[in-house]
Amino acid sequence: MNTLTTIDELGFAPALQQDVLEDTTSDHALLEATRSGDQDAFAELVSRYRNQITSYIYRMTNDYDGAVDLAQETFVRVYRAADRYQRTYAFSTYIYRIATNLAISELRKRKRRKLVSLTGFFQPTDGGEAKELNPPDLRPLQDLELVDTERRNAVQRAIGTLPEKYRAPLILRDVDGRSYDEIAKILETSEGTVKSRISRARGFLREKMRAYL
């Protein structure tokens, strides 16, 4: 493994030259190049996935700064484990798995700290359905854009109230548009379980978003 001593040695090029790295270069090839010390290859990987990973973690945690931090941690782990990477799965599956684990770990930490969002919902202690703390505002809005924004905020809040086992597959399917097969690999579970969880997650959301539908 190459030892990096200074920031400059990492050499993240702001704009990579197309003759060095073609768009057709696969993620696997980029990671292989990273393993052999090509920092430009790693920079390309980062540029491909930074928005996706940040967005995914943000949808999971509903905290932008925390999501950026965890996204960076995801890339750090990819970089440090480059030597141990195996081509068993697609690189996207691999990096999403790391991101998912970090996000779930963060959610569990929060739960231990008992941080309850004032705009969130109460989690039932008896295992029943979650109860809404702030019922949706049913007043008509005057502007379509505002309506749209409010609806997106509401759905984001509603997603944030889903149990983590339903949240991750729903985001991967309905926000990121990934296949059931890939989601199953990312979450290390069966395809049937993924379908079932997504269906249940949509059911929860439909109840919470009834006013907007």
Partner 1 sequence: MRKTNCKQIRRELDELMLGETWSAAATEHLSECAECREFHVQQTKLRKIVGSLGTIEAPADFDFRLRARLAKGASSAPAIYWRLVRSGLIAAALAVVVLLGVVAVRDAMRLGENPGEVARKPEVHQPVKADQAPPVIPEQKPSDHVVADVTPATIRKFRPTQQADYKKRPLSSIAISSTGASVLNGTQPAAMSTAFPIDSSAQSFTVSLEDGRGNAKTISVPTVSFGSQRIVQSGNQFAPKRDW
Q: By C-beta, is 41 or 46 nearer to partner 1?
A: 46
**137 sits near partner 1 (criterion: CB under 8 A):** no
For residue 63, the Cα-to-chain-centroid distance in whole angstroms is 12
Q: Shortest CA distance to 188 belongs to which of 161, 168, 160?
A: 168
Residue 152 CB, nearest distance to partner 1 (Å)? 6
Least distance between partner 1 and beta carbon 110 (Å): 19
- What is the smallest separation between the CB atom of 26 and partner 1, expressed in angstroms? 21
Q: Is 3 in the site for partner 1 (CB under 8 A)?
A: yes
Residue 205 to residue 98: CA distance in whole angstroms: 26
Note whether 21 binds partner 1 by CB under 8 A: no
Q: Which of 32, 40, 48, 68 binds partner 1 (CB under 8 A)?
A: 68
Q: Does 206 bind partner 1 (CB under 8 A)?
A: yes
Q: Does 122 engage in binding with partner 1 (CB under 8 A)?
A: no
Which conformational region is residue 82 in: left (phi greater than 0), alpha (psi within -120 to 50 degrees), or beta? alpha
Q: How many residues bind to partner 1 according to rule CB under 8 A?
A: 48
Please report whether residue 198 would count as binding partner 1 according to CB under 8 A.
yes
Does position 75 interact with partner 1 (CB under 8 A)? The reply is: yes
- CA–chain centroid gap for 78, Å, is 15
Instruction: Examine residue 85 and tell whether it contacts partner 1 (CB under 8 A).
Output: no
Interface segment toward partner 1; rule CB under 8 A; list 59-67, 93-101, 119-127, 135-143: 59-67
Q: Please list every residue from 148 through 187 that binds partner 1, using CB under 8 A.
A: 148, 151-152, 155-156, 159, 170, 174-175, 177, 180
Q: How far is the CB of 5 from partner 1 (least distance, A)?
A: 6
Task: Say which residues have a Cβ less than 8 Å from residue 138's Cβ, sequence separation at least 6.
Answer: 211
Binder among 26, 64, 89, 123 for partner 1 (CB under 8 A): 64
Closest to partner 1 by CB, 46 vs 103, is 46
